Structure 1
């Protein structure tokens, strides 16, 4: 006879893993922005290796790619996010930024229009700041 864990134990493990993953992402971001950027980047990459569809880790790696002018890599990350979760408007905005820097102005314009039409005031504000700086 096999012993089966109660569903509550399984659910608790999933919640615990999710919390630990979020703490790891938060710690990685602290490292990136603080004393050891490379260690933070390696932590985020490690999270992606273990959980390839971790949208938060992909997002922060994409943002870091943008900050370091790795626009193709950033585009890949944001496209991955959109494939996983097509409702993640942050990814569309960041993909728009990447497209702009790559000289793909029509694609960027389309993505920026998507953000405006979404009505998300925080993302629209971020877009306005970006456009005013250009």
Structure 2
């Protein structure tokens, strides 16, 4: 399974906002797009998907920007993936051929296993791991 660039950028945006929250910093669009190397117009499109998935919310006004819609430990990687890729479904349309029925059962179980594993990872864990890897890289 290959994830789209939108999913990769979407996760980076969420990580950026989560890190800003840890340091009590406001997350504004220009700062996010600049630091992440994402065109600002494209970033706004990604934000729409993140807002529609209830992962971020917009703060209007002079000190506006973006913030997580819920705590980082409550945002699963599965939510991020499904915000851009849609539901994970590895099965074909149902059929009556015995081999197709059997294969769909295997694909269904594999899909459920993948979802379980991806759901178990949350944004807080991803940020912690990313910060640790950054610190290791600097040393």
The TM-score with structure 2 as length reference comes to 0.27
More helix by share: 1
The TM-score with structure 1 as length reference comes to 0.28
> Which structure has the higher relative contact order (CA within 8 Å, separation 6+)?
2
